[in-house]
């Protein structure tokens, strides 16, 4: 039996052609597209202004896969971690992160991850597949519902910092952002979206060529090739010199600063000499720094740095004119903090 295409994999032009093929008028494609991306229909039967005959045709010709919330955990600080189940019974995680000024959705781009960063729980999972753009958008839709339910306000920001390496799912990443930012989608400003990468130099340059409008963050964690390769094997092929070149290219094409994410580990990358190396690297690229406290994981082998050393580290950067903020993690009690997403939700079968 021939597999039916998922209707949300189609661009508007493709949908228009398919609708014509099944003998319907072009205005129907606009109606359907609006139901898919603005009204967030979950089934064809919800498309109430379409004739029943057309809805039956759609069911015959297309699949309509949606992400479902399989489990939800609430932290004492208001953070909500969700386990989402895909149509093919895979599990990914996303997080609603509340602060005084923002409601942020941290979303995933892959099922698992092919990178093996030593400090990250997701890196200990296998990469099973890339997520489709509609599965990425569904996470945003569901987390936005949680924001409205729990805080009476919609999401303000989105970060692609969940499971997986976004730049290894490039086309679906860009299409998901198109659907999130377009007027015929969710209509969110790209300035409120940040994509985090472990550092795929050629894809960073491609972001520049595509002149993307969203923010870029690089998981740096060491400004020393030896140390960075020790915790991030990807550095062997994408070392600091290669990354600096790619980031300068990206900045030249987009005019945007990059944010360096720097998880600070006890007695590994928390000294003033490490801060000096980071300051020197920041001098090569238009950038700012987020210093992130480490969140322990099983078999991680690292410890959280002393708060006094963290503050001294940040002060060293600030004294040299580098914008540096210390980010305190949220959702630690439910394994929802940075680097902890590993499908440990007890209510969801592995």
pLDDT per position as a tens digit, 154-170 = 999 999 999 999 999 99
Q: For the beta carbon of residue 213, count every other beta carbon within 10 angstroms.
A: 13
At residue 348 the predicted structure's pLDDT band, cuts being 50, 70 and 90, is low
pTM of the model: 0.91
- Which residues participate in catalysis according to the annotation? 93, 338
Hey, what domains does the chain have and what are their CATH numbers? 7-61 (1.10.150.530), 68-334 (3.20.20.70)
Indicate whether 115 pLDDT > 90. Answer: no
At residue 346 the predicted structure's pLDDT band, cuts being 50, 70 and 90, is very low
How does pLDDT run across 79-108, given as a tens digit for each residue? 999 999 999 999 999 999 999 899 999 999
Indicate whether 78 pLDDT > 70. Answer: yes
At residue 1 the predicted structure's pLDDT band, cuts being 50, 70 and 90, is low
């Amino acid at each position: 039996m021939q597999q039916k295409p998922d209707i949300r994999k189609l661009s508007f032009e493709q949908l228009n052609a398919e609708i014509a093929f099944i003998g319907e008028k072009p205005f129907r494609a606009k109606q359907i597209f609006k139901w898919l991306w603005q009204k967030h229909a979950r089934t064809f039967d919800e498309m109430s202004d379409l004739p029943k005959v057309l809805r039956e045709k759609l069911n015959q010709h297309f699949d309509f896969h949606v992400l479902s919330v399989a489990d939800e955990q609430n932290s004492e600080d208001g953070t909500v971690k969700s386990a989402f189940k895909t149509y093919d019974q895979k599990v990914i995680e996303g997080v609603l992160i509340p602060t005084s000024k923002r409601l942020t959705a941290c979303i995933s781009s892959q099922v698992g991850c092919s990178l093996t960063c030593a400090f990250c729980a997701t890196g200990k999972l296998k990469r099973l597949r890339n997520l489709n753009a509609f599965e990425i958008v569904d996470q945003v839709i569901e987390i936005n519902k949680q924001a409205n339910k729990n805080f009476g306000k919609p999401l303000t920001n989105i970060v692609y910092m969940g499971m997986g390496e976004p730049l290894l799912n490039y086309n679906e990443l860009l299409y998901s952002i198109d659907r999130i930012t377009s007027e015929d989608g969710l209509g969110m400003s790209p300035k409120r979206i940040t994509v985090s990468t472990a550092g795929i130099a050629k894809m960073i340059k491609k972001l520049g060529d595509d002149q993307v409008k969203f923010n870029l963050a690089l998981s740096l964690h060491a400004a020393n090739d030896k140390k960075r390769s020790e915790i991030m094997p990807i550095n062997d092929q994408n070392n600091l010199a290669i990354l600096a070149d790619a980031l300068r290219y990206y900045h030249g094409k987009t005019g945007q600063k990059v944010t360096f994410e720097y998880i600070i580990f006890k007695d590994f990358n928390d000294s003033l000499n490490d801060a000096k190396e980071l300051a020197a690297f920041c001098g090569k690229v238009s950038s700012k720094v987020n210093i992130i406290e480490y969140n322990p994981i099983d078999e991680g082998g690292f410890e959280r740095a002393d708060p006094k050393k963290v503050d001294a580290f940040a002060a060293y950067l600030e004294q040299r004119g580098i914008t540096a903020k210390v980010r305190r993690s949220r959702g630690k009690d439910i394994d929802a903090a940075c680097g902890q997403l590993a499908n440990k939700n007890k209510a969801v079968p592995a």
